[in-house]
Structure 1
Amino acid sequence: MLIVFALLALTLLAAANRYLWQRLFRDTTRGPGRARRGGATLLAGGWALAIGALVAERAGAPFRLQQVLAWPGFLWLALSVYLLLAVLAGELVRPLLRRLLERRARAAAPAEAVPAPAPAPAGPDPVPVAAGRAGEATPGPPPTTLPAAAPDPSRRLFVSRVVAGAAAAAAVGTVGYGTYGVLRGPRVKRVTVPLAKLPRAAHGSRIAVVSDIHLSPVLGRDFAQKVVDTINGTQPDLIAVVGDLVDGSVKDLGPAAAPLARLRARHGSYFVTGNHEYFSGAGQWVEEVRRLGLDPLENARTELPWFDLAGVNDIAGESEGQGPDFARALGDRDTARACVLLAHQPVQIHDAVRHGVDLQLSGHTHGGQLWPGSLVAAAANPTVAGLERYGDTQLYVSRGAGAWGPPTRVGAPSDITVVQLASTR
């Protein structure tokens, strides 16, 4: 099945890139030449860089090589998505533009002068003479049917160039703006969540929730500092780092994560693993975040003054025998106290409901990151972003602070969420 899926994916990828080459380069040129060969080289080279960036990251290639490949390779992934979408949208515009040009051409053409018919001679109408039998008229020549005018090649070329140019400009603009949004840093989002079990004295407690920072060969120390400054600027009572902190080893990304040591909150900073930690050496990263001053909650719970804070490992840890253990984290707690659970993936909400959790804080989805990725994320997660209720348990999902792969977001802006707890008493 894996081989079949890989072959299907490669076939679709090849077909999509051939379609792009046809619309962007073949249809916009008059014949074979450097432009068409250059277009094929550009498409092939872009995908070579993208695949190289993915392989280098997963294979643990030298970090400098990862950095060299990551920027152009991952940006090409995003650009190719929006080139394809823009060219497909251009198929709707193409026939309309052709019709418009045809109408303008007809309106601009001068009317042909038609000679007036010669006057008929005076006298009685002549009687036709039969060529064969008497009394039969001689048939005239058959009417001539003019061939339909062939489409104007120059007009067709003009339409192809306009559509291709607009598609390329739209794709580059979309990816450029989406990349700027990520590099600028996440914006603060504020959400109020009422909890029935929360004491009145805890009303207004603020939890800064940050997920999916994804420190990597692209997003490094400067980006981590922006995240830390934004969190500290909210003056939270508690900080929750809800997984997918990194995409790489402690050796390569330890310096990039160093600013996390400057996180400040009255009740401390806490961390749970995401699936990407298990691609990057989860055990080493747990120890590293502990060294930086964060408290890792590995299927564990701590009793804060007004509510319990629990955390479970990510589902990806099951492959290493370190998966989520809700019974260990929540089994012996006082159910009269409010409980907030940190769990990276929203799908863990069903276990949270069974264990009487009041609020689960998650990330993982990126809100889809690149539209229409939100449609795929919605198919795989109970909640893509925002606050929803499942029975007596509420689930809040952050879109995340960073980005995986392309440092680009479209239709899913990054955020750090300040969750303000409200007592209903």
Structure 2
Amino acid sequence: MIYFQIFFSFLIFIAANIYVGKKGWLLINTVIPKISIYLYWAMFIFIALSFITARISKDKVPHFFEKFLNILGGYWLSAFLYFIILLGVIDIVKLILGIKRFSFIGAKVLQKIYLVSNVGAIIIVAVLLIYGTYNATNIKTTKYALKINKDAGQLKKLNIVMLSDLHLGDIVDKQRLSKMVIKINELNADIVILAGDIVDDYIEPFIDQDMGIEFQKIHSKYGVFAVFGNHEYYGGSIDKIAYEYENSAGFNLLRDKTVKIEDSFYIVGREDLSYERYSKTKRKKMDELLKDTDKLLPIIVIDHQPVNFSEGETAGVDLQFSGHTHNGQLLPANIVTKRLFENDFGLLTKGNYNVVVSSGVGTWGPPIRIGTSSEIVQVELEFK
């Protein structure tokens, strides 16, 4: 079934690219009549398939060329999304204006309107890509003030800083990470939480750029606690990633593990759901992770994907941190994420159970954000 879905999705992707490609050819052929149709389609196919080619050719082509394909493909995916929307709207309007009641417009005038509209679509997409690139690198801090009606020993307040979906690699590189670390330290965190997808599939850029040293510059009272996301599993080197996280970066890596801190509160880190697919083993249930905990103390859970909230609510979890959704990353994709997840972004409170879902601080695929923000989350937690 899954292979049929992949095949069907690929056919839709090809068909949609052909639609955009034909529109592009009609416009270019009008402006530059002598251009070769073969040259045009060769360039278009190269660009349209560049992201897929980059994934398939991993370690088979020079690294600089792979990076080029990833960046080119990422930008094309964004442009492609907005071309489909804009060109679709233009065609609908053209169809409406082409019916008899609008015949007074005239075919030549209609053709000019159509030409100007298509040029306008290109300008709009170009502006969106420029804005989206800037927006993706402009990190914001999202603050929440929450109260947990539990005793935490001598601890009355806890300043938590959380990041998710960094997707560190060739695109979100060490320079971007350095800016993140500076912003983290400005917030004077008691504890720093990394809620998965720290690297983008592969650990090699993390090692090559010595990113672990940057993480060691983070200042926090109780340290940095991290879990895996789905992308850690995609690269196929999970043990190597775990080693780098714990030894190079100094993370407290929690893989279905519960830690009691200062006899005041618990941090629970869950394996990502992808663990079940790749290891053929079920991750531990929430009740199992909490069986030896003192439920009178605050319980904070880190779970990359914001799913199965009823499990945490029933088990007595007070606060959960998740990411994964990127809040759609590119408008209007957030319409899809809102339908897929009970809470795809922000704070959800259900009785004593609170869930904070971050839109992420990095990007996947297109190094672009439109209609969403790259964020670091700060939660000022107050206890009874």
Q: What TM-score, normalized to structure 1?
A: 0.80
Shift of 1:324: 3.0
Of stretches 411-420 and 294-303 in structure 1, the one that deviates more from structure 2 is 294-303
- Quick one: distance in 2 between partners of 1:250 and 1:29? 45
Q: Secondary structure at the match of 2:175?
A: helix
- Quick one: distance in 2 between partners of 1:345 and 1:239? 18
Q: Which residue of 2 aligns with 1:388?
A: 348
- Quick one: distance in 1 between partners of 2:174 and 2:315? 38
Q: Which residue of 2 aligns with 1:43?
A: 44
- Among 270, 273, 281, the residue aligned to 1:315: 273
Contact 2:195–2:321 (Cα < 8 Å) also in 1: yes
Q: 1:84–1:56: structure 2 CA closer, same or farther, 3 Å change rule? A: same
Q: Secondary structure at the match of 1:34?
A: coil
1:298 aligns with 2:255: yes
1:284 aligns with 2:259: no
Q: Secondary structure at the match of 1:271?
A: strand
Q: Which residue of 1 aligns with 2:20?
A: 20
- Quick one: distance in 1 between partners of 2:201 and 2:45? 27
Q: Secondary structure at the match of 1:346?
A: coil
Contact 2:90–2:114 (Cα < 8 Å) also in 1: no
1:163 aligns with 2:117: yes
Contact 2:300–2:320 (Cα < 8 Å) also in 1: yes
Q: Which residue of 2 aligns with 1:260?
A: 215
Q: CA RMSD in A?
A: 2.7
Report 1:379-418 matches (<5 A): 379-418=339-378
1:207 aligns with 2:166: no
Shift of 1:352: 1.5
Q: Which residue of 2 aligns with 1:226?
A: 179
Alignment-mate amino acid for residue 397 of structure 1: V
Alignment-mate amino acid for residue 11 of structure 1: L
Alignment-mate amino acid for residue 347 of structure 1: V
Alignment-mate amino acid for residue 341 of structure 1: V
Contact 1:215–1:256 (Cα < 8 Å) also in 2: no
- C-alpha distance after superposition, 1:279-325 (max 9, x if no partner): 22222222211112211112112222332111111111112156532
- Quick one: distance in 1 between partners of 2:11 and 2:255? 42
Q: 1:35–1:162: structure 2 CA closer, same or farther, 3 Å change rule? A: farther
- C-alpha distance after superposition, 1:217-267 (max 9, x if no partner): 211111111111111111111100010001243333223522111111011
Shift of 1:378: 2.0
1:275 aligns with 2:230: yes
Report 1:10-159 matches (<5 A): 10-26=10-26, 29-30=29-30, 33-34=34-35, 37=38, 39-57=40-58, 63-91=63-91, 93-94=93-94, 151-153=106-108, 155-159=109-113
Q: 1:9–1:354: structure 2 CA closer, same or farther, 3 Å change rule? A: same
Q: Secondary structure at the match of 1:74?
A: helix
**Identity score, percent:** 24
Q: Secondary structure at the match of 1:267?
A: coil
Q: 1:62–1:199: structure 2 CA closer, same or farther, 3 Å change rule? A: same
- C-alpha distance after superposition, 1:127-174 (max 9, x if no partner): xxxxxxxxxxxxxxxxxxxxxxxx433x23311221111111111111
Q: Which residue of 2 aligns with 1:191?
A: 144
- Quick one: distance in 1 between partners of 2:140 and 2:9? 36
Which 5+ residue runs of structure 2 have no aligned equivalent? none
Q: 1:327–1:368: structure 2 CA closer, same or farther, 3 Å change rule? A: same
- Quick one: distance in 1 between partners of 2:141 and 2:36? 46
Q: What TM-score, normalized to structure 2?
A: 0.88
Flag the structure with larger Rg.
Answer: 1
